[in-house]
């Protein structure tokens, strides 16, 4: 089991002039409005769209059945959802940027894929509509209260399993890189979470509900997995084996902590 950094250690590791990664309430300079992201996707959509769907490949390695109906929240280019269409029954991607959705409409997408322009805090779907929901990174844009409300809404539309990807505070090299880049690019202005903070955030958000659940923190994006996952056509047995790279890697090397919730 990975040893977690204490709150004091996490803060001490981040006490540098101008470092906001542990300050979840300081939202100055963050990309919070849909219009902010419209500008970003006008510049970055093609590049992100053409990238390897590493998170989708990782999700596939978890062994969800082919009957899975998935939802990606804060999808942007939706490259992970488009990849998952090849292994799931269908995939839905949501983003509140109209530009991102317009760009997706102009792309060649699978017949079992759909893109919806909607706010993550008010999703236009019935309760428990999706077997699996996932969001990677966007929770780190918001205050604790806003992040909590979006996690609650994600849980509402999820039947079986939800994944909440957070930037990993234990990866000090990544954190320092973001801290440097965000000075000139708001795209990197996000909060990082320790393992205990991530589990605590999601557990607290779901505590008021009536559903029972299991919760754990998984690791995603170790250097070894990133190298292995450059191929999107691995057979399932090889994919599951390659995913062990993240399981075995130290928490300090993971790009994201993914809080997994299984409803029981």
Q: What is the mean pLDDT of residues 138-161?
A: 94
Positive or negative, the Cα torsion across 158, 163, 167, 170?
A: positive
Q: Quick one: pLDDT band at residue 23, thresholds 50, 70, 90?
A: low
7-263: which CATH architecture? 3-Layer(aba) Sandwich (3.40)
Highest mean pLDDT among 70-74, 177-181, 205-209, 243-247: 70-74
Which pLDDT belongs to residue 3? 35
Compute the distance between CA of residue 141 and CA of residue 28 in angstroms, rounded to an integer.
Answer: 10
Q: What is the mean pLDDT of residues 17-30?
A: 49
> Quick one: tokens of 218?
């998984």
Domain ranges of the chain: 7-263
Q: Residue 143 class from Cβ within 10 Å (0-12 exposed, 13-18 middle, 19+ buried)?
A: middle
- Does residue 97 contact residue 37 with C-beta atoms inside 8 Å? yes
Virtual CA dihedral for 118, 122, 128, 134, nearest 10 degrees? 60
Q: What is the mean pLDDT of residues 129-156?
A: 94
Cα 63 to chain centroid distance, Å, stands at 18
DSSP output for 102-167: HHHHTS---TTEEEEE--TTS-SS-TT-EEEEEEESGGGGS-HHHHHHHHHHHHHTEEEEEEEEEE
Q: Quick one: pLDDT band at residue 248, thresholds 50, 70, 90?
A: confident
The pLDDT of residue 258 is above 70: yes
DSSP output for 175-234: HHHHHHHTTT-GGG---EE-HHHHHHHHHHHHTTSS--EEEEEEEE--HHHHHHTT-S--
Report helix, strand or coil for 86.
Answer: coil
Q: Quick one: pLDDT band at residue 235, thresholds 50, 70, 90?
A: confident
The pLDDT of residue 141 is above 90: no
Q: Global pTM?
A: 0.86
Q: What is the mean pLDDT of residues 248-264?
A: 95
Q: What is the mean pLDDT of residues 12-32?
A: 48
Average pLDDT, the chain: 86
The pLDDT of residue 233 is above 90: no
Q: What is the mean pLDDT of residues 193-199?
A: 97
> Quick one: tokens of 104?
């997706």
């Amino acid at each position: 089991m990975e040893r977690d950094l204490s709150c004091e250690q996490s803060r001490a590791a981040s006490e540098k002039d101008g470092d906001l990664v542990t300050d979840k309430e300081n939202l100055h300079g963050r990309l919070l409005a849909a219009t902010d992201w419209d500008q970003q996707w006008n510049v970055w959509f093609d590049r992100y769209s053409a990238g390897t769907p590493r998170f989708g490949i990782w999700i596939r390695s978890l062994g969800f059945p082919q009957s899975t109906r998935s939802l990606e929240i804060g999808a942007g280019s939706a490259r992970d959802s488009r990849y998952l269409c090849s292994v799931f029954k269908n995939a839905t991607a949501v983003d509140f940027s109209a530009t991102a959705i317009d760009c997706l409409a102009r792309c060649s997408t699978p017949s079992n894929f759909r893109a919806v322009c909607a706010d993550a805090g008010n999703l236009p779907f019935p309760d428990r509509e999706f077997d699996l929901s996932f969001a990677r990174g966007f929770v780190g844009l918001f205050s604790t209260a806003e992040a909590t409300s979006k996690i609650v809404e994600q849980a509402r539309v999820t039947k079986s399993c939800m994944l909440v990807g957070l930037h990993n505070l234990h990866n000090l090299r990544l954190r320092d890189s973001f801290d440097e880049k965000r000075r000139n690019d708001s795209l990197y202005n996000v909060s990082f979470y320790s393992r205990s903070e991530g589990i605590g955030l999601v557990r607290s958000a779901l505590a008021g509900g009536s559903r029972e659940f299991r919760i754990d923190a998984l690791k995603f994006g170790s250097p070894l997995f990133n190298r292995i996952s450059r191929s999107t056509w691995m057979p399932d047995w090889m994919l599951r084996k390659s995913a062990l790279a993240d399981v075995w890697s130290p928490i300090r090397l993971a790009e994201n902590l993914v809080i997994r919730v299984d409803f029981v």
